[in-house]
Amino acid sequence: MINQLKSKLEELEIKKNAIKPKINEINLKREEEIQTVNKKYDHMVYELNYEIQKFEDDIYNELIQSFVDITSRELDIKRSTELYSVSDDFKEYRESIARLENFPEELVEKLHRVINGDPIENIIYELEDIKEKYLRK
């Protein structure tokens, strides 16, 4: 009786070993198909995310360009008047832009310093560096 059970256990082991290559083949095929499906859907997700990221980058670049525009306009105002004081538009811009979470705090601080008496030229001299640092390609 024990020998018979041993024999059956050996037969079971032989059968298990016999199906291992087939199982490995099935698993390999499954993995290939999963990768194909993942590639397809990864591409679709990438396309959607790309459009959103591009839209976000465009908005961000508009924010940075608005900073460039307001500082350039403020410099023009300063050059065209004898007694210069920071314009209301500049002050309002600083207040409004500071409320936007996407706008760089460093640039808000630069605006604040101009309102508190620093020369606008300090920003103007840095505009190219600011654009290089903050504009998204």
Please tell me the total count of domains within the chain. 1
Angle at alpha carbon of residue 73, lines to 68 and 78, rounded to 5°: 125
Q: What is the mean pLDDT of residues 90-105?
A: 95
Report pLDDT digits (tens) over 23-58.
999 999 999 999 999 999 999 999 999 999 999 999
Helix, strand, coil fractions of the chain, as percent rounded to 5: 80, 0, 20
Which residues span the domain enclosing 83? 2-134
Taking the model in full, what pTM does it have?
A: 0.70
For residue 82, pLDDT over 90 is answered with no
Contact partners, residue 120, CB within 8 Å, separation at least 6? 71, 74, 75, 78, 114
Q: 15: which 2 tokens?
A: 């059968």
